[in-house]
Amino acid sequence: MAYELYYWDGLQGRGEFVRLALEEAQAPYVDVARGEKKEGLGIGAMMGELESDDPYPPFAPPFLKDGDLIVPQTANILFYLGPKLKLAPRDEDQRIVANGLQLTIADLVTEAHDTHHPIASGLYYEDQKDAAKARSADFIAHRIPKFMRYFERVLAQNPDGPRQMVGNALTYVDLSMFQIVEGLRYAFPKATKHFADHYPHVVALHDAVAKRPNIAAYLASERRLPFNDTGIFRHYPELDRAVR
């Protein structure tokens, strides 16, 4: 049976980390909220799950349905899917390592979101622009380097080599690394201009993922939504600034 992915239509957002794993593995899935109402899909189907009085409802999208089981939270979905898609380490301890890395990626994603919404996710960007400028300046000066230096270190210190984050084979963590480099470059083209000089292993990993046949096919397809100003990574030129 196909996996059912539930996420907002019209943006990559957090759902994209799950899509990349499903696409790499060529797993059958339905992107529920992007489907047709007449087929029982669409946003209404997603809202029905969110408001259901079934046990253990999800708090927010993305969530995955696999049969009767509802799996909420991006990192949890990937932890659950990883072994089934052969995108997790075989070793149990390394799966815990992968989960820790994915949660650190999730922290970066939240901080990237909060650069444009530092006061309230329910308010417009225009109503929190001054705070967004201040938060973005700190994000560019301190947080991007802290996270990226760390990921570079993880790759450099991997005993199996710097071509993947954990162990000796591709995992969902590597796919997510591709997405954060892609997202940061879209949102902050000036600040990320010299990424390849500062974080060579990270950028090499990004490039290698982009060339994988299933990922390349996905990125060229209509299933891959473009970045835009409703997602996590948004390009507001006034928030970007050059970094040496």
Residue ranges binding a second copy (CB under 8 A): 53-59, 63, 69-73, 75-76, 79-80, 93, 96-97, 99-101, 103-104, 107, 110, 114, 118-120, 122-123, 128, 131, 134-135, 138, 142, 147, 150, 153-154, 157-159, 166
Cβ closer to a second copy: 35 or 200?
Answer: 200
Look up residue 19 and give its two tokens: 């899509």
* Residue 78, helix vs strand vs coil: helix
Rounded to the nearest whole angstrom, what is the least distance from the CB of residue 93 to a second copy in the complex? 5
Rounded to the nearest whole angstrom, what is the least distance from the CB of residue 159 to a second copy in the complex? 5
Rounded to the nearest whole angstrom, what is the least distance from the CB of residue 3 to a second copy in the complex? 14
Cβ closer to a second copy: 32 or 215?
Answer: 32
Rounded to the nearest whole angstrom, what is the least distance from the CB of residue 77 to a second copy in the complex? 9
Planar angle of CA 28, 34, 39, nearest 5 degrees? 80
- Among 181, 195, 173, residue whose Cα is nearest residue 87: 173
Rounded to the nearest whole angstrom, what is the least distance from the CB of residue 187 to a second copy in the complex? 18
Cβ closer to a second copy: 132 or 215?
Answer: 132
Residues 19, 3: Cα–Cα separation, whole Å = 11
Cβ closer to a second copy: 88 or 101?
Answer: 101
Look up residue 36 and give its two tokens: 């047709």
Rounded to the nearest whole angstrom, what is the least distance from the CB of residue 92 to a second copy in the complex? 10
Residues 200, 97: Cα–Cα separation, whole Å = 22
Sheet holding 3-6, edge to edge: 29-31, 3-6, 63-66, 69-72
Residues 129, 205: Cα–Cα separation, whole Å = 34
Q: Are 238 and 133 in contact (CB under 8 A)?
A: yes
Cβ closer to a second copy: 33 or 106?
Answer: 106
Look up residue 200 and give its two tokens: 């060579």
Cβ closer to a second copy: 28 or 55?
Answer: 55
Q: Which residues pair with 66 in a beta bridge?
A: 69
